[in-house]
Structure 1
Amino acid sequence: MSKHVTVHVHFLPNPSRLSHRFPNLESLTLESFSHGFNTAEKCLIPFTPWIHEIAVKFECLKSLYIRNMVMSPSDLKRLAATRGANLRSLEIRGCKMFLEDGLVDIARYCIDLRSFHLQYNSIENDNMPNGKWLHELALCNTVMESLNFLDLFDRYDIKDVTRLAKKCSNSLVSLNIFP
C-alpha cells in the first residue's frame, strides 16, 4: 500500500473514495487547479469536505500539503484538534485563506510540527494578521526544523522569531520569512 498520495481534487470530488482505497496514508497532497500568478484569487474548491474525511479516517497522517483550495478557520481548527498530535509537516500554498485564528490553532495543537510552510495565500478578511500564530508557535514548538512563510503575514514581532529560533536551536535547519 502506498504511504503517499497526491490527489488532484477536481478529478476526485469524493474524499471517501481515497480513504477507502488508502486507509493508512502517512502523507497526502491535495491540489486544485493551478492557475499561475494569483492562484489564491482564482481557487474555488473547498477544503472542508476533505478535512471531514481527514479528521475521521486518516489516523496515520503525518504530512499534509494543501494547494490552491479554499480554507476556513474551522477547517484548520478541526485539523489541529484531530490530527495535530501526529502532524509533522504542513504546507498551505496558494489557498484562499481563513482568518489568522486557524493558524493559531495549528501552532497551539501541532506541537510536534517539524516543517511548516505558508506561501502565496490570500486572506479574505480586511483584518490583517497580527502575528498571533507566530507568537503561539514560538511558545509551543521546540522541534521545528523548517519554517517558511512568504505571505501577507508581514505583521509579526521579531522577538517571536528569535524565541522560536532559540527554543528550536537543536533542530532548526531552515528559517525563511518574507517580508
Structure 2
Amino acid sequence: MPRTIILNKPFGVLCQFTSEGDRPTLKDFVRVPGVYPAGRLDTDSEGLLVLTDDGRLQTRIADPRHKMEKGYWVQVEGEPGEAALKVLRAGVELPDFETLPAEARRIDEPPGLWERDPPIRVRKAIPTSWLELRIREGKNRQVRRMTAAVGFPTLRLIRYQVGPWELAGLAPGKWREASLSTPV
C-alpha cells in the first residue's frame, strides 16, 4: 500500500534528505523509509510538503503538465491594490516565461499562524500585507518572482495547500499520514 505523508516544512530546512553541512533536512523531521518529496519548497519557504513512495503520485504532483493547484499565503512588502492583483490574475511576464493566470486576493494574516524563526525583516516606513495565491504551476521561486514583478517583494511564503491536501493545523516540523493516496 503506497504511503503519502504531509509535512509542515519549517523555514530554513532543505527540501531533501541528504545533508549539506549543518543545515537541517527532511531527515531531521520525517524518519519514514522510502518516501520522497513530490515537488519542492525553497529553503526560505515554509509549509505543506507532500512526501510519498508512489512514483505516479509524485509525478502527478510535481510535473507542471498536470497543473495541480497549489495554494500559498504570501506576506509582501507594501499594500498591493487591484491593479497588481489584476496582473497576477492575468499571468505575469517574467524574463524567462509568462506565468499562467493565478487566483489572487488580499487577505488578513491567516488565523493560527505560527511565529517564524527568524522573524521577517520589518521596516517602520513600509507596511506589510498578506495575499492568497493559487497557482497551477510551480516553477523555481515562481511566487516570489511574481510578487516582485508587480512591485511587492515577498517577505514570507507559506504553502498551505497542494491538490486535496491542506496544512489544517499541522505545526511546523510535524507530519501526518495523508487521508488520500491519489488526488481526484
TM-score (normalised: structure 1): 0.28
Select the structure with the greater relative contact order (CA < 8 A; seq sep ≥ 6).
2
More strand by share: 2
More helix by share: 1
TM-score (normalised: structure 2): 0.27
Task: Select the structure of larger CA radius of gyration.
Answer: 2
